[in-house]
Amino acid sequence: MAMQDCLLKVKGISLEFSGTPILKSVNLSLNQGEIHALVGENGAGKSSLFKCILGIISPSQGEIIFLNESLSGYPIREILRKGIAMIHQELMLIPELTVAENIFLGRESIAGKRMGLREINEATSDLFQEYELDIPVGAFVKDLSIAHQQIIEIMRSVSQKARLILMDEPTSSLTEKEITFFKQLIFRLKSEGISIVFTSHKMDEVFGFSDKISVLRDGEMVGTFSKEELNPMSLVQKMVGREMKDFYPKALSEVGQVILSVNDLSCVPHFEHVNFTLCAGEVLGLSGLVGAGRSDIGQVLFGVKKKTSGQMSLKGQAYNPENPSEALRAGLGYLGEDRKEMGIIPEMNITENMSLGLLDTYRKFFFVDQTRESADSIDMQAQLSIHSAKEGQRIQNLSGGNQQKVLFGRILLNKPEVLILDEPTRGIDVMSKFEIYTLILALKKQGKAILLISSDLPELLAMSDRVIVISKGKQMAEMTREESSPEKILEYALH
Amino acid sequence: MKELKAFFTKSPTGGIFLALILVCVLFSSMTSRFLTTTNLSVILNQVSVNAILAFGVTFVIIAGGIDLSLGSLVAVCGVVVALLSQNNEYSLWIAVMGTLVAGLALGALNGIIVVLTKVPPFIVTLGTMTIGRGMALILSKGRPISDLNESLNFLGNGDLFGIPIPILFLVLSYGTCHLLLTKTVFGRYVKAIGGNEMASYVAGVRVNRIKLYVYMISGLFAALAGILLTARINTGQPNAGLGFELDAIAAVIIGGTSTRGGKGTITGTMLGVLFIGVINNGLDLINVSAYWQQVIMGGIIILAVVLDGLYQKLKMNI
């Protein structure tokens, strides 16, 4: 391969985030005019790699070489100017400006020449004509479809003379027809010598669009393959193929009677026609990609979101929580997906965070019975082995694992019968993970019914008695622990 | 000594307390008329209306909201209490209770609009601020209301055991609000929803109800302030209380309450009120012109918050 063909070389990039490795010595190389698919499970490090290339975050080790020049130390603005662009999953356009204004945003004067509205419009029209695009240049971006907005972002990169465009799940919100057009567009870009790296969870796109495929797993680069070397099955195996260590504690317990049953439950547009039952002493796993509607199911059960149709029943009685407070009193406990957003009150201490849901029961006239409150909290802290440096420490200063255990304490103080746990081990250290697995199994043994939502496939498989797979808001499959395998689940989830 | 050091370094109100002492020292060195019992009593009396308003709005700000309608509520309630105390038609008791209920209702109006429409409280209370001013003018027909009961005048200018009545109300309000915020279930909920509204909701807190209550508290204390103001000047003025909301909010912020919600103390607010009051009083005593007083005051408010920010950072490193 001639040297000038190589556009981008990622050399041994490592990235850590508060002690947790995100990327481990990742290598990647890319030629001019190449379309490259980057695949991996959620959390494998795809977005982080993109951010490193673009200079949004700087890696702790390694080097990125673009057109034979190292990019380290350059600010984002410079890197953009050198010809790397990124199309984020959330589009970065200004809805209140026109198409042309968006394309030339921040470049109102080029090479000393001021670009007036007329010049901008003309330049945009020329560009669109060249690419045979039929989008009015004077339209407001807010009036356009998502697909058109995405095209405008891509055209902005093109007009900035980008040589490399990074695309984070570009097709995730496009229809079949729009995807066909998108494919034509990126092949056109390729023919002009522009390189593209994109992420996707869809096998047909990975194999249909790309020249080469790189697989990331747990922050490590499994390898780069030409698409002839792989088939969808072998690719999935490479994505999940981590060795299953004996990390998950095992405890078998009797599964009891049905506690919660869900019949044809829908919450449009998040999910539709979901059916399942949950028994005492059982862990039911809910799998699917992020955004498939898993979290929404948990939120409807806990009264955070409203169902649009269908029935739920709790211990044989119709159950329709108006709000989380009612769900709590009905005997449910809920751990939200995002600890910072839905869990902790950062300025409050451990005890205050723990008792928040139950404060009404600690009421003595108008006052908080602080003696009883802190006694219960200290009990719970010991039970869950929550470590804090000093009494009354604010929760925001605790480690992620300890924060998560405090939130478990909040739920357990209420003595719930049903627990909905959404990503209970996300972003916490290995030791805390193990403690939480042990806790989940202890709760199961006590006869609690547990709905476990997780993106971590090995975790989900090891902990659950049964697994339900959700894809795009639809229930794809239900299988027992014996029937399930990572490959099977991923196949349904990617469907 | 150790406790003292702990207070200044650990307590969130240590910084503003230090600043307050500093300006007191400054003024006493500049004029002998500052540090006298009479003058200190005058200061307390002067700040009582602002303090009572600031206590009420502290709850709103900690809960993550804002109430710009305070000044207008003072005017409406001042007019209401004046109308009810004209010509000895009703007893003082009924006039005061009626006005407090009016304040609660107006606060509830703020709260209901905020909760139901999800419009930012800044906008909602900006609207009710104008509505309130208009209502005060309508109720009073645009004229000051005089010939009020003697007993109302007593609330503004009388004293009990030698302590001016407004100061008694100030102390009482301070105690009530402090207990309410630090010791009650309600106070805990206020801090929780200000700290993280979504997390509180998911934890089972009735967020909307608490939001409604904080605006009602703000309205209630605005009514009390309106009563005291009307009683002091012995007339109901539809134009009273212009800009009072800004003084109250300034005091709350100087007192260390976060504008993003989630944390704050009534003691801090009290110190903030005193800080503003002492500076106003001191500048009067050393004969600074009223025009320059405003310029200086504005500068000091910004400076106080900037210094407090630096002080909090410094504290982290001790």
Indicate whether B248 pLDDT > 60. Answer: yes
Residues 6+ apart with CB under 8 A from B304: B16, B19, B254, B275
Count CB-CB contacts under 10 A for residue A221: 23
The CA-atom distances, in angstroms, between A3 and each of A6, A9, A33, A302 are 6, 11, 14, 58
- Three-class SS state of A8: strand
Indicate whether A295 pLDDT > 50. Answer: yes
In chain A, what residues touch B263 (CB-CB under 8 Å)?
A: 347
**Residue A407 and residue A414 in contact, taking contact as beta carbons nearer than 8 Å:** no
| Confidence at residue B54, expressed as pLDDT on a 0 to 100 scale | 97
Mean of the pLDDT values across residues A424-435? Answer: 78
In chain B, what residues touch A352 (CB-CB under 8 Å)?
A: 188, 192
**Residue A214 and residue A221 in contact, taking contact as beta carbons nearer than 8 Å:** yes
**Which of A323, A347, A410 shows the shortest C-beta gap to B263?**
A347
Count CB-CB contacts under 10 A for residue A226: 10
* CB–CB contact A304 B201 (8 Å): yes
Residues 6+ apart with CB under 8 A from B92: B85, B149, B151, B152, B155
Q: Which residue has the higher pLDDT, A17 or A63?
A: A63
Mean of the pLDDT values across residues A172-182? Answer: 80
| Confidence at residue A422, expressed as pLDDT on a 0 to 100 scale | 93
Task: Give the integer Cα–Cα distance in Å for B149 and B154.
Answer: 9
| Confidence at residue A1, expressed as pLDDT on a 0 to 100 scale | 42
Which residue of chain B has the CA closest to A407? B203
Indicate whether A320 pLDDT > 70. Answer: yes
- Three-class SS state of A420: strand
Residue ranges of alpha helices (H) inside A62-109 are 76-82, 99-103
Task: Give the integer Cα–Cα distance in Å for A173 and A310.
Answer: 26
| Confidence at residue B69, expressed as pLDDT on a 0 to 100 scale | 96
| Confidence at residue B84, expressed as pLDDT on a 0 to 100 scale | 93
The residue among A345, A354, A421, A422 with the most chain B CBs within 10 A of its CB, best to mutate, is A345
Mean of the pLDDT values across residues A337-362? Answer: 89
* CB–CB contact B196 A346 (8 Å): yes
Of A402-411, B84-93, B132-141, where does mean pLDDT reach its minimum? B84-93
* CB–CB contact B203 A324 (8 Å): yes
User: Rg of chain B's alpha carbons, rounded to an integer?
Assistant: 20
Which residue of chain A has the CA closest to B184? A367
Q: How far is B81 from chain A (nearest CA, A)?
A: 30
| Secondary element (H or E) of residue B124 | helix B121-140
Q: How far is B263 from chain A (nearest CA, A)?
A: 7
| Confidence at residue A244, expressed as pLDDT on a 0 to 100 scale | 42
**Residue A309 and residue A476 in contact, taking contact as beta carbons nearer than 8 Å:** no
| Secondary element (H or E) of residue B182 | helix B165-183
- Three-class SS state of A97: coil
Q: Does domain A3-240 have CATH number 3.30.200.20?
A: no
Counting Cα atoms < 13 Å in the Cβ hemisphere of B2 gives: 0
Indicate whether A290 pLDDT > 80. Answer: no
End-to-end CA distance of chain B: 17
Count CB-CB contacts under 10 A for residue A131: 17
Mean of the pLDDT values across residues A430-445? Answer: 85
**Residue B13 and residue B255 in contact, taking contact as beta carbons nearer than 8 Å:** yes
Residues 6+ apart with CB under 8 A from A32: A4, A5, A6, A7, A163, A193, A195
* CB–CB contact B202 A324 (8 Å): yes
Mean of the pLDDT values across residues A65-89? Answer: 88
Mean of the pLDDT values across residues B107-119? Answer: 96
Task: Give the integer Cα–Cα distance in Å for A327 and A333.
Answer: 8
Indicate whether A18 pLDDT > 80. Answer: no
In chain B, what residues touch A345 (CB-CB under 8 Å)?
A: 191-192, 195-196, 199-200, 262
- Using one digit for the tens of pLDDT, what is the confidence trace for B145-161? 988 888 888 888 888 88
Strand order through the sheet with A418-422: A332-335, A418-422, A449-453, A283-287, A466-471, A474-480
- Using one digit for the tens of pLDDT, what is the confidence trace for A25-51? 999 999 999 999 998 876 678 888 999
Which tokens belong to B92? 């003082």
Task: Give the integer Cα–Cα distance in Å for A293 and A299.
Answer: 10
Cβ pairs bridging A and B (under 8 Å)? 75
**pLDDT over 90, % of chain A:** 41
Burial A96-123 (b: 16+ CB within 10 A, else e): eebbbbbbbeeeeeeeeeebeeebbbeb
Round the average pLDDT of chain B to a whole number and report it. 91
Q: Which residue has the higher pLDDT, A486 or B233?
A: B233
Looking at residue B148, the DSSP 8-state letter turns out to be: B
- Using one digit for the tens of pLDDT, what is the confidence trace for B34-53? 989 899 999 999 999 999 99
Mean of the pLDDT values across residues A18-22? Answer: 72
Confidence of residue A132 (pLDDT cuts 50, 70, 90): confident
| Confidence at residue A3, expressed as pLDDT on a 0 to 100 scale | 45
Q: How far is A390 from chain B (nearest CA, A)?
A: 14
Indicate whether B275 pLDDT > 80. Answer: yes
Work out whether the CA dihedral A463, A473, A344, A400 comes out positive or negative.
positive
Nearest to A43 by CA among A223, A280, A289: A289
Same fold, A3-240 and A258-493: yes
Which tokens belong to B255? 């007192």
Q: Which residue has the higher pLDDT, A160 or B122?
A: B122
| Secondary element (H or E) of residue A109 | strand A109-110
| Confidence at residue A145, expressed as pLDDT on a 0 to 100 scale | 86
| Confidence at residue B124, expressed as pLDDT on a 0 to 100 scale | 96
SS3 content of chain B, % helix, strand, coil (to 5): 75, 5, 20
Which residue of chain B has the CA closest to A328? B204
Chain B residues whose C-beta sits inside 8 Å of any chain A C-beta: 180, 183-186, 188-189, 191-192, 195-196, 198-206, 262-263
| Confidence at residue A245, expressed as pLDDT on a 0 to 100 scale | 47
The CA-atom distances, in angstroms, between A21 and each of A49, B84, B316 are 12, 71, 28
Which tokens belong to B225? 């302030």
Indicate whether A191 pLDDT > 90. Answer: yes
Residue ranges of alpha helices (H) inside A97-240 are 99-103, 117-130, 146-159, 176-191, 203-209, 232-240
Model pTM score: 0.76
Task: Give the integer Cα–Cα distance in Å for A74 and A69.
Answer: 11
**Residue A326 and residue B201 in contact, taking contact as beta carbons nearer than 8 Å:** no
| Confidence at residue A65, expressed as pLDDT on a 0 to 100 scale | 92
**Residue A148 and residue A175 in contact, taking contact as beta carbons nearer than 8 Å:** no
**Residue A124 and residue A105 in contact, taking contact as beta carbons nearer than 8 Å:** no
**Residue A249 and residue A437 in contact, taking contact as beta carbons nearer than 8 Å:** yes
Confidence of residue B10 (pLDDT cuts 50, 70, 90): low
**Residue A219 and residue A23 in contact, taking contact as beta carbons nearer than 8 Å:** yes
A55 at B interface, C-beta within 8 A: no
Mean of the pLDDT values across residues A217-224? Answer: 89
| Secondary element (H or E) of residue A274 | strand A271-279
- Using one digit for the tens of pLDDT, what is the confidence trace for B197-242? 999 999 999 999 999 999 999 999 999 999 999 999 999 999 999 9
What string of DSSP letters covers B228-281? Answer: HHHHHHTSB-TTTTTTHHHHHHHHHHHTT--TTSS---HHHHHHHHHHHHHHHH
| Confidence at residue A393, expressed as pLDDT on a 0 to 100 scale | 82
In chain A, what residues touch B188 (CB-CB under 8 Å)?
A: 352, 356, 359, 368
The residue among A356, A396, A397, A411 with the most chain B CBs within 10 A of its CB, best to mutate, is A356
Mean of the pLDDT values across residues A231-247? Answer: 68
Cβ within 8 Å of B, A 408-427: 410
In chain B, what residues touch A420 (CB-CB under 8 Å)?
A: none
**pLDDT over 70, % of chain B:** 95
**Which of A334, A346, A368 shows the shortest C-beta gap to B202?**
A334
Residues 6+ apart with CB under 8 A from A318: A311, A312
Q: Which residue has the higher pLDDT, A178 or B115?
A: B115
**Residue A319 and residue A330 in contact, taking contact as beta carbons nearer than 8 Å:** yes
Mean of the pLDDT values across residues A3-12? Answer: 81
Round the average pLDDT of chain A to a whole number and report it. 87
- Residue spans of the domains in chain A: they are 3-240, 258-493
Q: Taking the mean position of all CA atoms in its chain, how far away is CA A103?
A: 29
Length of chain A: 495
Lookup result for tokens 């909307």: B208
- Angle, to 10 degrees, between the axis of helix B266-285 and the axis of helix B244-254? 120
* CB–CB contact B205 A325 (8 Å): yes
- Using one digit for the tens of pLDDT, what is the confidence trace for A202-219? 777 889 899 999 999 888
- ipTM of the predicted assembly exceeds 0.85: no
Length of chain B: 318
Confidence of residue A321 (pLDDT cuts 50, 70, 90): very high
Count CB-CB contacts under 10 A for residue B234: 17
Task: Please tell me the CATH code under which domain A258-493 is placed.
Answer: 3.40.50.300
Indicate whether A452 pLDDT > 90. Answer: yes
| Confidence at residue A6, expressed as pLDDT on a 0 to 100 scale | 87
